[in-house]
């Protein structure tokens, strides 16, 4: 629900900003992909002078990392994920023999079962 409440308004805002700048008619795929490998370098002074474009560029820049952090907060701190982190930590501490094994983890009686699938 949080993801939907955050992404729908932002997506609508981005669509609005793109549409307000004017839409070009679609001609063909050849026209769409003409000079596709060209990468333009525009100085910050130029794109920051247009406020609407600056907002759009900053949204495109900062929304993916922010969305990733929100996604991790929802699923990375879940009880099931913490159990997997604990299992991986115990396995690595035994396998590498240089990570200390905390008493709180070893006293809970976790059993690690590792299935190795060989490369063919």
pLDDT tens, position by position, 83-100: 998 888 888 888 877 655
How does DSSP classify residue 25? P
Scan for tokens 């590792």, then name that residue: 114
Average pLDDT, the chain: 79
In whole angstroms, give the CA distance from residue 36 to residue 34.
Answer: 5
C-alpha R_g of the chain: 25
Residue 77 three-state SS: coil
In whole angstroms, give the CA distance from residue 22 to residue 1.
Answer: 32
> What's the pLDDT score for residue 13?
84
Scan for tokens 């004017």, then name that residue: 22
Task: Name the pLDDT band for 115 (thresholds 50, 70, 90).
Answer: low
């Amino acid at each position: 629900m949080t993801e939907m409440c955050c992404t729908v308004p932002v997506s609508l805002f981005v669509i609005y900003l793109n549409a307000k700048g004017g839409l070009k008619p679609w001609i063909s795929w050849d026209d769409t992909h003409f000079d596709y490998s060209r990468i333009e370098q525009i100085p910050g002074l130029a794109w920051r002078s247009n406020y609407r474009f600056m907002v759009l560029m900053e949204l495109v820049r900062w929304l993916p990392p922010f969305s990733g952090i929100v996604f991790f907060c929802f699923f990375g701190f879940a009880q099931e994920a913490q159990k997997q982190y604990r299992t991986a930590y115990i396995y690595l501490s035994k396998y590498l023999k240089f990570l200390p094994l905390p008493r709180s983890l070893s006293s809970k009686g976790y059993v690690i079962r590792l299935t190795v699938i060989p490369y063919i």
